[in-house]
Amino acid sequence: MKNTFLFATALAALSMFCSCKDEIEMRYPPKYELPELPTVEGIHENQKAPLYWSVYENCYLQERQGHTGEDLDISEAEWDNIIDWVATNLKPYGYDMICTDGFIPMLDKEHRGYMTHYGKMALKDLVAKCKAKGLKLGVYDNPLWIHSDDDCVVEGTTYKYAGLKWNHKSTVLNPNAKEVFSWAVAENPGCEEFIDGFFKYYKELGVDFIRMDFLSWYEDGKDRYAGIQGRGYGRESYARALAYIAASAKKYGVFTSLVMPHMYDDAVVEAKYGNMVRIVADTGTGTWWHCSAQDKGKSYSNWPNCMNQFDGFKYWSHIAGRDKVILDGDFLRLNTFDNDNERQTAVSLQLLAGGPVAVADQPGSIGDNLKFYTNSELLALNADGFVGKPLSDKLGDNNEVWYGQMKNGDWVVGLFNRDENTATMTVDFSQLGISGEMNVRDLWKHVDEGKASSLTANVPAHGCKIVKLTK
């Protein structure tokens, strides 16, 4: 039996340090003609961004230390420690899931056709460990990745896996490209059933969150860092694949996160078929660099459109909102930031933009930074399904205002200073569509500041001021 090793995340992480080409001014990616796309009813209804812990930092650091392939793994004892730590320290605040990532070999040891083991750990055992502590397991996998041998049969059909792959007859964009992944091609017979079986398998296993990566490599094979990394099965094939994925995910009640999409044509396909979509480059080393500084004020025509979280959230803010696709700013590694101002800003940005808070800090690396992840007054935004908007979507601003309204009518306003010096920031509430005086409460200081019709604050470098406004 063939074991599939998914090591390409390392390439994406390392490539962050490469120079970027094809810089463009702020605009949306190119348009492509597509046939009418089928609708998957209710895909975005009553969805909110997840709060969870990810193995990302653990694996990223292992790789940086030279561990690869089977040598890169998490032992059962380590898993037990992680799960207990998350259940004790994060679960009381709404973080209800642990999620795998790439790096570690993803194996089908039982010839099931889908991943059964994450390294040495059986997924069923990992699900059981999480469940015992009141947690869920999210899985990094892709419904288009083939993990087993060609003679494996798609459940409920007579189609073999060999027939799911490119047949050298259909047109691809880069026929001579070498591919890291074995892709199931959407238009091939059996692919729709293969995708449906993927979600059925995971739901029965007890998994209801899937992060699917390297979508740009399927669509046209392009990688802005590493050149051509896939054959490129075409825009129509990509759209058809995501439609199949959305339908099956909705059928089985599985939440999907789309990672590394080009977002062509103003993300028409991704916004239609994904519950959540990545809008920024990989976290990598983390720090203020990933949060705000990397290629500040720049946008690109394909993945990743923006290199830092602030610009990514601003650039794509127009497609997000209640009952719309959720924007994903990738993982947080608060232990990599220089000071508490930056840590408050990093967490606040995710929550005001309606994104997930994906904790990547480990029990041994988090230090005294847990308190930034467990601010109940800010986490109430996530529970509410809050999705804020920037006052301006112009990239490169040093000072940013974000705002939005909760279901109960309260408003939340954030002042963010991306500059290197303290800045005096002012916003009149009328600019935000709020009339009259409001009661102002600081959500980091946890103090009431009286009534006002505007907000003025001296915001420290890389810091923020987040307030809730009530009548």
The 10s digit of each residue's pLDDT in 169-211 is 889 999 999 999 999 999 999 999 999 999 999 999 999 999 9
pLDDT, averaged across the chain: 93
Q: pLDDT-based confidence at 5, cuts 50/70/90?
A: very low
Instruction: Work out the average pLDDT over 158-162.
Output: 97
8 A C-beta contact, residue 136 and residue 83: no
Residues 413-424 have a mean pLDDT of 98
The mean per-residue pLDDT over the stretch 398-415 comes to: 97
Three-class HEC string of 270-319? HHHHCCEEECCCCCCCCHHHHHHHCCCCCEECCCCCCCCHHHHHHHCHHH
Rounded to whole angstroms, how far apart are CA atoms 455 and 221? Answer: 48
C-alpha dihedral, 61 to 63 to 65 to 71, nearest 10°? 120
Q: Residue 406's beta-bridge partner residues?
A: none
Q: What is the CATH code of the structural domain delimited by 400-470? A: 2.60.40.1180
The better pLDDT of the pair 396, 106 is held by 106
Instruction: Compute the distance between CA of residue 361 and CA of residue 231 in angstroms, rounded to an integer.
Output: 36
Give the contacts of 114 (CB within 8 A, at least 6 positions apart): 108, 141, 147, 148, 197, 198, 201, 202
305-363: pLDDT as tens digits:
999 999 999 999 999 999 999 999 999 999 999 999 999 999 999 999 999 999 999 99
Contact 372, 89 (CB under 8 A): no
Helix (H) or strand (E) holding 467: strand 464-470
Least confident of 27-31, 267-271, 430-434, 453-457: 27-31
pLDDT score for 178 = 92
Confidence grade of residue 23 (pLDDT, cut at 50, 70, 90):
very low
Q: With contact defined as beta carbons under 8 Å apart, do 189 and 159 qualify?
A: yes
**Alpha helix locations (H) across 212-281?**
215-219, 235-252, 264-273
The secondary element (H helix, E strand) that includes residue 425 is strand 423-428
Tell me if domain 8-331 and domain 400-470 are identical in fold: no
**Encoded tokens for 460:** 């420290």
Measured distance CA(179)–CA(239) in Å, rounded: 20
Q: Would the pLDDT of 27 be above 90?
A: no
* Cα–Cα distance list, 408 to 47, 353, 404, 443 (Å): 18, 18, 12, 17
> Where are the chain's structural domains?
8-331, 400-470
pLDDT classification of 15: cutoffs 50, 70, 90: very low
- Rounded CA-CA distance 376/380 in Å is 6
pLDDT for residue 255 is more than 70? yes
Class for the domain spanning 8-331: alpha beta
Q: Which two structure tokens, joined as six digits, stand for 458?
A: 């001296």
Can you give the pLDDT at residue 170?
A: 86
Q: How many Å is the Cα radius of gyration of the chain?
A: 22
Please, are residues 9 and 283 in contact by the beta-carbon 8 Å criterion?
Answer: no
**Distance separating alpha carbons of residues 391 and 109, to the nearest angstrom:** 51
What is the spatial distance between Cα 97 and Cα 276, in angstroms, rounded to a whole number? 16
| Residue 269 scores a pLDDT above 60 | yes
pLDDT at 35: 79
C-alpha to C-alpha distance for 89 and 371, rounded to whole angstroms: 10
Say what the pLDDT of residue 28 is: 64
pLDDT value at 3 more than 70:
no
Sorting pLDDT into bands at 50, 70 and 90, what band is 9? Answer: very low
pLDDT tens digits for range 361-378: 999 999 999 999 999 999
Contact between 409 and 471 under an 8 Å Cβ cutoff? The reply is yes
